Amino acid sequence: MAKSILKEWAGRFRSEATGVSAKTEWADQLTRARNAGPRMTNQTTIDPARHGPGTLAVHAGTYNDPITGAVGTPVFAATTFLFQKESYEAFDQGMIRDYPIYTRYGNPNQWAVQEKVAALEHAESAIVFSSGMAAISTTLLALTNKGGHIVTARDLYGGSYNLMREDMHQFGREVTFVDPMDIDAITAAVRSNTEVLFFETLTNPLLKFAPVKALAKLAAENNIFLVLDNTFLSPCCLTPVDDGAHVVIHSGTKYLNGHSDLIAGTAAGSRKYLDMIWAQMLKLGGSLNPQDCAILERGMKTLALRMKAHTENALALAEWLSRHPAVARVYHPALPGYPYPWAAESLTRGSGGMVSFEVKGGDKAGLKLMENLKLVHAATSLGGVESLISMPFNTSHSSLIDRQRREVGINPGLMRLSVGIEDIEDLKADLDRALGAIGDIRQ
């Protein structure tokens, strides 16, 4: 039975890789047909066009074990797999990504969760990594050449910004930082050697929604890659592939897993581009082990339910905070006066579970606020079932000097709140009590 499964492994769901041609010549030449997966014969395949994200999150990619009939993907805790005729053919034909040979190349647990990610992202293929930063660094190195150029922003997760500022030039890549909301400035930054536009769909920490469709048009017109980090929104709120993005990245640590107990990253897009990223991942070594893949797959099964609760709670808190006397300003895409009008057209499924706000009294008041919270935890990260709060000035954006933080818009007293799935009245009560404790500082 196992051999018959292997025979069908790489032959199903053949499709021609799609997507805008890359500027790099070696990407333009990748025209052969590829599997949309990789997929196993006994994996559940669901058409994303015919099913909603809740159904995809539960069922897509699940490996249906033909021996035991287990409901759910078993853990394949093996580093290596027996060679068969198909294995040697895979080496000969350059298709080792599609066969079980060695777990760093691919493992059934990786393929199961990757298929779920791909289905939710409306993408042909996906890869899981050992962290979100592994996903970002591997993708950018795979899609650029020495002497290439990347256009990006300072409005990035701190780790991404540091990679761009401190390391990319060491790899021979040039980087230009621009305002991610200014499509004219982004256009002006494009050069003859530009290979990638890299932005966050919803920026960290000020929740600026990037002009995704305009970025995709610019990338298509200039034959360059558009790589978007969609961590803050999740595929339940936005699927950038549908708008023309070539690769969509997530820190799987956050909403995808959703339980603050796993470090992981993902990339999704056209199979031919994901093959390039996969080949780079083999050399850099950022693969995700089978046990963690199983945890990520289990966490993703409740993604749609969790995102509904996150999104509803975040909007309710944003509206409540905007009326609180201790709060100077609230940042959330669904509030009146949000300055990026293109968001309304794109974020019809919700704006995610993040809220940022400035407290009166500056950073000292913000630190005291965190000291007085009980339900909301003062901790880094985001996207878990529990609410988490932090201050960018001394965590995610501590590498920026004061002037750079001001240029981005990070003012004193800025709080970044990852809203969990707790009862909304309990969260309001906790925040109200803590906000009341900073009154003496505000005076």
* Separation in Å, CA 177 to CA 11, 75, 181, 197: 44, 43, 12, 10
Q: Which two tokens stand for residue 427?
A: 């969260």
The pLDDT, as a whole number, for residue 94 is 86
pTM higher than 0.85:
yes
Q: Which residues of the chain have pLDDT under 50?
A: 1-24, 26, 443
Which listed residue (98, 229, 275, 292) is catalytic? 229
Q: Determine whether 161 is an active site residue.
A: no
Q: Is there a contact between 351 and 311 (Cβ–Cβ < 8 Å)? A: yes
Residues 6+ apart with CB under 8 A from 98: 9, 10, 35, 37, 38, 90, 106
Q: Determine whether 104 is an active site residue.
A: yes
Q: Determine whether 254 is an active site residue.
A: yes
What SS3 state is found at 378? strand
Which listed residue (63, 99, 105, 157) is catalytic? 157
The pLDDT, as a whole number, for residue 5 is 40
Q: Which two tokens stand for residue 319?
A: 């509206």
The pLDDT, as a whole number, for residue 14 is 28
Which listed residue (254, 271, 272, 416) is catalytic? 254
Which listed residue (104, 213, 329, 364) is catalytic? 104
CA dist., res. 123 & res. 186, Å (int)? 26
| Segment 221-231, tens digit of pLDDT | 999 999 999 99
Q: Determine whether 85 is an active site residue.
A: no
Q: Is there a contact between 357 and 417 (Cβ–Cβ < 8 Å)? A: yes
The pLDDT, as a whole number, for residue 31 is 58
Q: Is there a contact between 238 and 211 (Cβ–Cβ < 8 Å)? A: no
